[in-house]
Amino acid sequence: MIKKRYLDRLILLGWSCACYSFAFGQDKVLSPSDSLKLQIGTSKLDSVFQIKTSQVNPIEIKKQALLPYSSLAQYLKGNNTGLYVTEPSGESGTKQPMYFRGISRPLFSDIDVFQNQPLVVVDGVPLVGEHPFAYAVQTYNLERIGPATNLLANINIDMVKSIEVLKDVAAIAMYGPNAANGAIVVRTKEYKADKSNRIAVNMYTGLAERPHVTTINGEYENKFRKQFYDLYTSNGKYNDGDSYPVYLSDSLNMNYFGKSDWTDSYYNSGLVYNLNANLSGGGPRANFQFAAGSTQDKGVADQVKLNKYYALFGLNMRPMTWLTFSMQANIARLDRNRNLNLRDRFAQLAYFPDLSAPLSPNKEVYNEYLSYYKKGFDNNKTNVVQGYGKLQFDFGNFHFLSTGMLDYNEGYRDQFYHSKLMESNNFASNYYGYNQRAVFDNKAFYDWNINEKNKINLLVGNSLQWDTYRYNYAYAYKGVNDFIKVNLLEDDALKSNYLEATAYPKALIFKFLDRIRHNLVSFYGKATYNYGDKVETSLLLRSDGSSNAQPDARWIFTPSLSINWNIKNSYFNTNTSLKDLTARFSVGRIGLNNVFDDFAQGPNYVAQMGFTGNQLIAGYNAIAGLVRPYESGWVGYNIPWAYIDQGNLGLDYAIQKKNFHVSLDVYVKQTKNQLINVPSYSEYGYKSSYAAGMNVQNLGAELTVGLDPVQSDNFKWSTALNVSHNQNKLKALPNGLDRLVIGNNLLEVGKPLDQYWLLANEGIYRTDADVPQGMTYNAIQLRAGDPIWKDRNGDNTINDEDRKLQGHRLPAVFGNWYNNFVFGKWDLGINMYYNIGRQLINQEMANRFDFINNEGAKNLDAIKEITYWEKRGDYSKYPLYNPWSTVIAYQADQDLFLENASFVKIRAVTLGYNLTSLVAGRTQAIKNAYAYVSANNVATITSYSGVDPEIVDYTGYDIGSKMRIPRIYTLGIKVDF
């Protein structure tokens, strides 16, 4: 609650200012004659940025604010054509990558995912994001070191006025290379001068429902394995050349063969809530806005949770008719309780303990294991600050705007694991890192009205951008006891009690620090010609210089052109039934920044002496060392700017009858000159070298159709459907290559980027006589019980030449269908989201059947989470191969485990009631009141046999350890005073 004396001071501050216009990110232009009306409207400087594109969004922001989503990506999912949002985990606060109009490069790592992400702009501030360079010190890329919290969770949707999704090059060109993969422009609400002081409150509380699952125990697992022993061992015995796991060999062991009630401790119903309030006040000469709130998003498993605290303050003043000052600050704190998955923990520790005995499905034993987590800690905190200050000068038709912007976020993660969790070796780690972007932008605008029909707008500008990414990270094993839990980052080696000599063995302390900087200088000019509101043509010319580009290719010149033809105003101006008929065309180029600064330096040295088992190590026993990048690849010269060429053709049509509207866009996008690591220079000790020349093409179409079928006094029904389709294709590889193998992936010119490289499974060899004579797999003789893999080239040998590109990691078609019904004071909204034409590899089933190779092995596939004791999948789909065969019959890279992952989800249902008329007679203070209930993630319709076809990451391999997306029920109320 805001105390009255502070409230009075805020109001006094706003009224004491000579003049104020609360911009919240919009560039305000007010003519001298409008000096007494300082309110938000469409500014002239803003208008030069806007390109008419298909931005139909059937779901209103005020409706979205009712839903218990934790990040901007969740609000956008399915609501805009061309924007594909993934949700690879239901864990609160985790990353949710987004892709605009396909992918510009193959997704083989989290670094590739980062390079495909769009720019998010909040109130004019281009957000910096979190750089992936820390993956260089990680053995496994499951989670980035540090908090790994979704930075877009800091956006308070209740304070958002509008969200624009910019996709074609003419729309994103003003944001430069930062927006090469599209842009999401968020504008927050503002004070209007015709309103008095205003207070608004939005709050909800709800429950994330605990899922209902079927548990199993050792008896079930024994029965599953017995069928293999009956087939492939003499007399079905476990001791014929096989070491049967101890935890399954004793049926009297109640830890594994007793009650399987672990779900009582793992799954839970979680509380979610939100309380947000904002205060705005002032008048036509000065006003302000202040907002604050708190949100808790609690998951349904493993005690995960995200707590958000945020505040926003904005101020506009206009001391003179020709001078406007605006400022805003947005502050957020994100605290996240992370999961206790073994997979994530071992990847973080870079250490695999004995995996021969999995966690027990018995609740008492499992609770004892969990108790050791309580003797340690895993604290994750992220602080976010965004803000700007603007000075605008208006002299008739000439305007000048100078803006300083800052986006800063910092993350902390402190961990300590008790020795009982890791073979008597305790573990401590500390992380501190930050990402910072500072921008200084100046632009001048002249509005030239030649005559009533001919108008020209001219804009010139310059932008300076400084990006800095940094982290300090340290971890250590085997402390002297479990009571010393230290901060390794703050140790002072000059002190006598230096921790390396006391708490942890010196050889088991590892420290890393790194920093990347990127500076971007941009000059741009734009001319827009409008003829009688019939035809509008814009030409943008810009030049960008990047510190991450090589000296002989520091700058890139990129033009873009857009033409909008209002056919209605040209030929059907008197037709009152026609609301809109517009054709749009745009074409242009935009530069693509290098993510890493080492490409700017040519040949270089790295800290890559991985003799300790770490990916990178800078030295040994305090002796620093550098080597050539033999492992990561040679960096040479002649690296040009990568860039995107894109063309877009669109048509918008709308009529008055039943408010029917349709918008269609078709596009082609070519991403050229991209870097990729190719095998080379092996005679010099290198495994590969970075070479430019990878070209990727995306073709697609986007359709939005809306209609109000019923609009009577008593009942109204509005519906809207959006459909997006994209096809990607690799057009070229460096050095004229046609094919390139990277890990278990194949890139082939002329083929899509997102396909799997798999063997074709055609059954099982029942007897040795069924095996064609001499048929081998990688020189291993195939026998009875082995898979029948298709010999595509007929050479009687199954190898990589017989693998085929098939399936797609990304959907061919995706979108959303929204319906809103209004009956009296009641309204009902139903949101359905769908993916079609996407396939997944069910690796969880592959690991389950490949138990012989995974039992006790020290790798990620061998890890058995507590969810191992959960019945999942359809076992009847898979043949009973010989699991002892050296051909690895149940390897995941075969179409046996490739499944159709298309789905339709009832994503949200909201029922609301307008209380305004009920409370109006009781009090004059309340202007609007609205109560509502909602259900989220209601149901999924799919043929996929896994847990959920959504919760799979960019690889397309479903490992089964990701947390479920919870079903959440909420009850809330919104009140305006």
Predicted local distance difference test score (pLDDT) of residue 419: 93
Checking if the pLDDT of 2 tops 60, the result is no
Query: Model confidence at 4, in pLDDT bands (50, 70, 90)?
Result: very low
Cα atoms found within 13 Å of the Cα of residue 599, Cβ hemisphere only: 24
What is the residue-wise DSSP string for 301-348? BTT-EEEEEEEEEEEEEEEETTEEEEEEEEEEEEEEEPP--HHHHHHH
pLDDT at 858 over 80: yes
Give 107-154 pLDDT, tens digit per residue: 999 999 999 999 999 999 999 999 999 998 888 888 899 999 999 998
> Helix, strand or coil for residue 735?
helix
Nearest Cα to 961, choosing from 354, 427, 369, 347? 347
Range name among 6-20, 320-334, 529-543, 634-648 with the lowest pLDDT average: 6-20
Cα–Cα dist 316/22, whole Å: 5
pLDDT band, very low/low/confident/very high, at 41 (cuts 50, 70, 90): very low
Q: Which of 260-269, 350-359, 866-875, 929-938 has the lowest mean pLDDT?
A: 350-359
Bridge partners (DSSP) of residue 307 are 296, 335
Tokens of 558: 């990129």
Residue whose pair of structure tokens reads 């053995």 in the numeric block: 139
State the Cα–Cα distance between residues 453 and 461, nearest whole angstrom.
27
Taking only the tens place, the pLDDT of each residue in 63-98 is 777 888 989 999 999 888 999 999 999 999 999 999
Does residue 920 carry a pLDDT above 90? no
pLDDT at residue 56 greater than cutoff 60: no
Helix, strand, coil % in the chain, rounded to nearest 5: 20, 45, 40
pLDDT score of 64: 77
The fraction of the chain above a pLDDT of 70, given in percent, is 89
What's the whole-number mean pLDDT along residues 443-454? Answer: 92
Among residues 462, 679, 654, 628, the alpha carbon closest in space to that of 576 is found at 654
Query: In what helix (H) or strand (E) does residue 172 lie, and over which residues does it extend?
Result: helix 169-172
pLDDT reported for residue 93: 92
8 has pLDDT over 50: no
User: Where does the pLDDT of residue 239 fall: very low under 50, low under 70, confident under 90, or very high at 90 and above?
Assistant: low
- Mean model confidence pLDDT for the chain: 87
Hey, is 479 helix, strand or coil?
A: coil
DSSP-based three-state secondary structure for 887: coil
Q: What angle (nearest 5°) sits at the alpha carbon of residue 618, between those of residues 616 and 623?
A: 150
Q: What is the CA radius of gyration of the chain?
A: 30
- Cβ-based neighbours of 876, under 8 Å, separated by 6 or more: none
CA dihedral 783, 784, 788, 793 (to 10 degrees): 30
Nearest alpha carbon to residue 319 among 388, 397, 402, 391: 391
Q: List phi, psi (to 5°) of 508.
A: -110, 20
DSSP sequence for 920-948: HTT-SS--EEEEEEEEEEEEEEE---SS-
Q: By percentage, how much of the chain surpasses pLDDT 90?
A: 68
Q: If 0-12 CB within 10 Å is exposed, 13-18 middle and 19+ buried, where does residue 826 land?
A: exposed
What pLDDT does residue 242 have?
Answer: 63
> In degrees to the nearest 10, what's the CA dihedral of 491, 494, 499, 505?
120
Average pLDDT score over residue span 433-441: 97
Per-residue confidence (pLDDT) for residue 35, from 0 to 100? 31
Please count the other Cβ atoms lying within 10 Å of the Cβ belonging to residue 127: 22
When pLDDT is cut at 50, 70 and 90, the band that residue 975 belongs to is: confident
How many C-beta atoms surround the C-beta of residue 281 within 10 A?
A: 22
Distances (CA, A) of 926 to 919, 920, 923: 7, 7, 6
The helix or strand, by DSSP H or E, that contains position 249, with its residue range, turns out to be helix 246-249
Q: Which two tokens stand for residue 291?
A: 């907002």
Phi, psi torsion values for 887, nearest 5 degrees: -85, 0
> Above 70 in pLDDT, residue 473?
yes
pLDDT grade, residue 50 (50/70/90)? Answer: very low
CA dist 62 and 80 (Å) reads 16
DSSP 805-838: EE--SS-SEEEEEEEEEEETTEEEEEEEEEEES-
pLDDT in tens, 699-744: 999 999 999 999 888 899 999 999 999 999 999 999 999 999 998 9
Report whether 706 contacts 56 (CB < 8 A): yes
Q: What is the pLDDT of residues 659-708, one digit of tens each?
A: 999 999 999 999 999 999 999 988 888 889 999 999 999 999 999 999 99
Place of tokens 């998003």: 297
Tell me if 938 sits within 8 A of 926, measured CB to CB: no
* Weakest-pLDDT range from 156-165, 176-185, 226-235, 914-923: 914-923
pLDDT at 282: 82
Say whether pLDDT at 9 is over 60.
no
Of 28-32, 373-377, 461-465, 553-557, minimum mean pLDDT range: 28-32
Q: Which residues contact 287 (CB under 8 A, 6 or more apart)?
A: 14, 20, 21, 22, 38, 191, 193, 280, 281, 316
The arithmetic mean of pLDDT across residues 315-342, rounded, is 92
CA 397 to CA 719: how far, in whole Å? 43
507 pLDDT above the threshold of 90: no
Q: Does the pLDDT at position 621 exceed 80?
A: no
The rounded distance, in Å, linking the Cα atoms of 183 and 118 is: 5
- Res 57 pLDDT > 70: no
Question: N- to C-terminal Cα distance for the chain?
Answer: 15
Q: What is the pTM of this model?
A: 0.91
Minimum mean pLDDT range among 6-15, 424-433, 771-780, 815-824? 6-15
* Alpha carbon distances (Å) from 4 to 224, 601, 653, 964: 69, 58, 52, 44
- Across 442-448, average pLDDT: 94
Strand order of the β-sheet with 183-188 is: 125-126, 119-122, 183-188, 160-166
